[in-house]
Structure 1
Amino acid sequence: MKTTYKTIHTAALQCNCPECYSNSGLELSFKQEWKDTFWSKKATDVVREELVCKHCDFPIYPVSWTEDIERLYEYHNKLAKKETYKRLKAQTYIIVAAALVILFSLLYIFVAN
């Protein structure tokens, strides 16, 4: 099973970085987990958030967030559109159709005799 994360929302924050105190480098992004199996591909409920300062290239963890950053996080968390998606792949339909054909042909053989 292959797991990937797709970015669903990104925002540049105009707050001071808790590490380097730059006012123009914070970027908040939300990433949703997608599971890809042999049978289907679906978006899960798991959403990761990442806050990175582009000025000092340092990830900012929630422990060091200020009240301004938390307020903006809550706002952008509401804006992030979490997808609900599940799709069966073509090989799933082919295998199910082949199984049904075999089942009906065996039923026809046994009923005809």
Structure 2
Amino acid sequence: MSTKIHTIHTARLKNNCPTCFGADGLEFTFTQKEKETPFYTKPTSQLSERLYCHTCKNTIYPVNWTEDIERVFEYNKKIAETHKQYLQVKPLFYIIILVAIVLTGVGIYTLFLT
């Protein structure tokens, strides 16, 4: 089983960085994990967020966020829509189901004919 990470939403902020006080470098990135098996792919329900400053090249953790950054975070979190909880079945799943149905039919057919 492999895991892929998809970027759902990215937003540049005009707020000041709490570390370097630069006004143009902050960027929120919202990501979502997707589990992939040979039979299906399914996104997880959790959304991960990251605040990065391109000016000082640091990740800004929520402990250091100001009230303004938290307000912008809440706004962008509402905008960042996660992929719906769908289960996308791959062709291998259909092949296995079809083979199981055929084998069951052959088994029943041979059982009643003998």
Q: TM-score normalized by structure 1?
A: 0.97
Deviations 1:52-82 (A, max 9, x none): 0011110000000000000000000000111
Please state how far the C-alpha of 1:86 moved relative to its aligned partner. Answer: 1.7
Deviations 1:19-44 (A, max 9, x none): 11000000001001100012100111
Runs of 4+ in 1 over 6 A off after TM superposition: none
Please state how far the C-alpha of 1:46 moved relative to its aligned partner. Answer: 1.5
Q: Which runs of 5+ in 2 are unaligned?
A: none
Please state how far the C-alpha of 1:4 moved relative to its aligned partner. Answer: 1.6
Q: Distance in 1 between matches of 2:34 and 2:101?
A: 30
**CA RMSD, 1 decimal:** 0.7
Query: Percent of aligned pairs with the same residue?
Result: 42
SS at match of 1:55: coil
Determine the structure 2 residue equivalent to 1:63. 63
Q: Distance in 2 between matches of 1:59 and 1:4?
A: 21
In the TM superposition, 1:69-84 aligns within 5 A as 69-84=69-84
2:47 corresponds to 1:47: yes
Q: How many pairs align?
A: 113
Q: Which runs of 5+ in 1 are unaligned?
A: none
Deviations 1:65-109 (A, max 9, x none): 000000000000000111113201110110110111011001001
Q: Distance in 2 between matches of 1:40 and 1:95?
A: 13
SS at match of 2:92: helix
Determine the structure 1 residue equivalent to 2:12. 12
Q: Distance in 2 between matches of 1:9 and 1:90?
A: 30
